[in-house]
Amino acid sequence: MLPAMSLPIGLLTSGGDAPGMNAVLRVMTKLAVSRGVPVVGVENGYSGLLEGRMRALTEASDGGGLGVDSDVDLLGAVGGTILGSAREPRFLTAQGRAPAVEALKALRGLVVVGGNGSLRGAHALATESGTPVVGVPASIDHDVGCTGLSIGVDTALNTIVSSCDRICDTARAHHRAFVVEVMGRDCGYLAMAAAVAMGAEAVLFREQGRDEESLVVAVESAIRQAFSERGKRRVLILKAEGVKTPCTRLVRLVADRLSDLRDVDVRATVLGHLVRGGAPSFRDRMVAGRLGMVAVESVLRGHTDTMVAWQPLVAGGEKTSDPSVFRFPLEQVLAESDALVDGTSPITQRRVSMMDAIEGVLGV
């Protein structure tokens, strides 16, 4: 086995792709090269780690030193992840993870870029191996605990707002109401934030705890008030993916109750995976760069079972060389992530409270 100093750092992207994943890979590779450390990328997430599928992200330079692969150097503006990603059920058990633990012996450390499922896998690897494992939050859902922002969230919001701007153009032209569903899994943050940014008439998210009947009543009321009482030309309602009533069913039920209104058309639009794609925004590139730099520094200093977090909203993080980036134990990150989804986190409670407070303002 090679001495630890000559072993490469492994970079892995896992779970749902997010704009900015490639940007963080580029920054981490550049920083490692500046420290004379080679880097390999693990292909297709944890599946690739189990099967030993790795590709060099560094190469010998003309001067005999270490350089960055030319493809990697162009990654900053590219969405998705060039390493690929996959859901890997074998990683759910210690027996299934065993080949990955063995593969880590050939690495100086591993940086895992992804959301909660990916970070749960990183926590397992860190506890089952002696190799440093560091997580970087990347998920458009904004449901990763202990970080004020995850890579991909800002780009996703910009995509949603841009799409809704276009929808509103045609809605005004035809006196239409649109219910637009956005991604976010069980977290309603994207819908909430986009509704405020767009001046939507209403927003529906799982954390409200509404049943189907109350959802229908809320949407019907918002449309009636906008068209009949306020004389608006368009109505925009944001619906989070976590609201289980399908968008088309919701619109059909609402339309049946609005049959008395003349010339009112209600349409459903599901943005779906459109929200995941596209070149990362400035903010996502900047956050990716700063998280990536601290992640590599952390591996080189032997930190493990930890995640780097951007401007955290919870206490307990460890300061790093970047005043905006803190390190949190992965166990704490995963516990806070669960609390964000089940509603026990003060952050989720504050979001819901703020949305309740402006509910009467949205439709004005």
Q: What residues act catalytically?
A: 141
Phi and psi, residue 356, nearest 5°: -60, -40
Is the CA virtual torsion 63, 67, 73, 76 positive or negative? negative
Sequence-ordered alpha helix ranges (H) in 153-246: 153-174, 189-198, 212-224
Judge contact between 150 and 291, C-beta under 8 A: no
Q: Classify 311 as helix, strand or coil.
A: coil
Beta-bridge mates of residue 137: 114
Tokens found for residue 30 = 């550049």
Which distant-in-sequence residues (6+ apart) come within 8 Å of 339 by Cβ?
Answer: 145, 345, 348
The tokens 């276009």 sit on which residue? 166
How many of the other CB atoms lie within 10 Å of CB of 228? 13
Distance CA 5, CA 22 (A): 26
Give the dihedral of Cα atoms 66, 294, 99, 38; nearest 10 deg: 0
32-59 burial code (b ≥16 CB/10 A, e <16): bbeeebbbbbbbbbbbbbbbebbeebbe
Distance CA 34, CA 230 (A): 61
Judge contact between 11 and 83, C-beta under 8 A: yes
Q: How many helices (H) and strands (E) does the chain have?
A: 12, 14
Burial environment of residue 352 by CB neighbours within 10 A (0 to 12, 13 to 18, 19 or more): middle
Beta-bridge mates of residue 40: 10, 56
Is the CA virtual torsion 343, 345, 347, 353 positive or negative? positive
| Element of type H or E holding 268 | strand 265-270
* CA-angle at 249, arms to 246 and 251, nearest 5°: 110
